[in-house]
Amino acid sequence: MSSKKGKFSSQDKQFMNLAINLARSRNGLTGNNPSVGCVIVKNNNIISIGQTGYNGRPHAEYNAIKNSIEKVNGSKMYITLEPCNHYGQTPPCTNNIIKNGIKEVYYSIDDIDKKVKGKSFNILEKKKIKVQKGLLKEKAKDLYESYICNRLYKLPYVTGKIAITKNKLIYSYGNKRITDTFSDKLTHFLRYKNDAILISHQTLLKDNPKLNCRLKGYEKFSPKRIILDKNLEIKQSSYIFKSSKKENTFIFHNSLNFDKIRILKKRGIRLIKLKTNQDNLFNLNKILKIVFKNGIRNLLVEGGDKLTKAFLFNRLFDKFYLFKSPKKLSKYNEHVNFTSLNILDKKYSKKTKIISKVANDKIIIYKR
């Protein structure tokens, strides 16, 4: 009845491609659980689709079965990831598939979770359900990069971004905007897709940033804010301080300024005291481990030159967006050069570089 890998028709690929697009649209918004897409087909017609719910539940298979326009018995199910087969906060999806009489199941890749990995195939096969896996597996592997990173290394998937001018400046006094509006929208899309955004106190003091998502209709998906501020230099007049509420702002520090600590805690800011090294810098690996333990699965770093350089040098970015503007800014007395292009090219293989053009800016995406 079953085969681990079979020949897939163009129609099979079409249905799975839809499932992958469903999963991708919710990627980064499903908490600890992976974002899964599901398509149910009967008599070669799509009768239902499903996605993992926000924050991870309900699962995509459950949603697809529940929302079907007709009975799903005798149908085919296309799933981006191996369906779960164990009891957690919800019953196993394999039980739901069996109970509802699904006759064929196609999924792209095995789940990396040890509780699930490879077991669903045999469970479904024993119930005389035809099972095939490996359909569009390369696309699925790309989709689940962050999930695989989380499960294997217990670390957040780290995305970096920085915008530079033609003369390699990232800041010049009196010039707030470097990139065009299309690139700005991509920046806000990245914020929408990440659980938290990390900056240094230098960026906080220099730019007084909002660090929120300003795409219309997606404001509620603004990321949590993480600030590296060893001496607690944050100003009470800053937007971050004024907009802080319980658990939406974290500050890593190494300060004994108890008055400032009291003020920040009263505001609802989560303070995490961490010792600095001999160079008076935080250990970035420790910070990543701590933020992961605090539920951050996808982290966006919008640092200046120093912070970006440290992440690049230690190869801590999983993905990096370099926005290259055609603008050439004047070098005022107060300006900042981007000094890490050579590190970026050296530490991140050019073979994985993807170049795209958005309006006037050139966007280069590097992967580790």
Whether residue 219 lies in the annotated active site? no
Dig out the tokens for 362 from the structure: 């050139």
Q: Which residues of 333-365 are buried (b: 16+ CB within 10 A; e: fewer)?
A: eebbebebeeebeebbeeeeeeeeeeeebebeb
What's CA 16's distance to the chain center, in Å?
Answer: 22
Are 240 and 225 in contact by the 8 Å Cβ rule? The answer is yes
CA 73 to chain CA centroid, nearest Å:
35
* Residue 223 CB neighbours (<10 A): 23
Distance (Å) of CA 218 to CA 55, 199, 212, 223, 319: 15, 21, 10, 11, 23
CB 227 within 8 A of CB 200: yes
* C-alpha radius of gyration, the chain, whole number: 23
58 cis-preceded (ω within 30 degrees of 0): yes
Query: 188: closest CA among 164, 158, 210?
Result: 210
Helix ranges restricted to H, 284-366: 284-293, 305-313, 341-347
Sign of CA dihedral 323, 329, 335, 337: positive
Q: Following CA atoms 236, 228, 147, 195 in sequence, which dihedral angle do they give, to the nearest 10 degrees?
A: 10
Which residue numbers are catalytic? 61
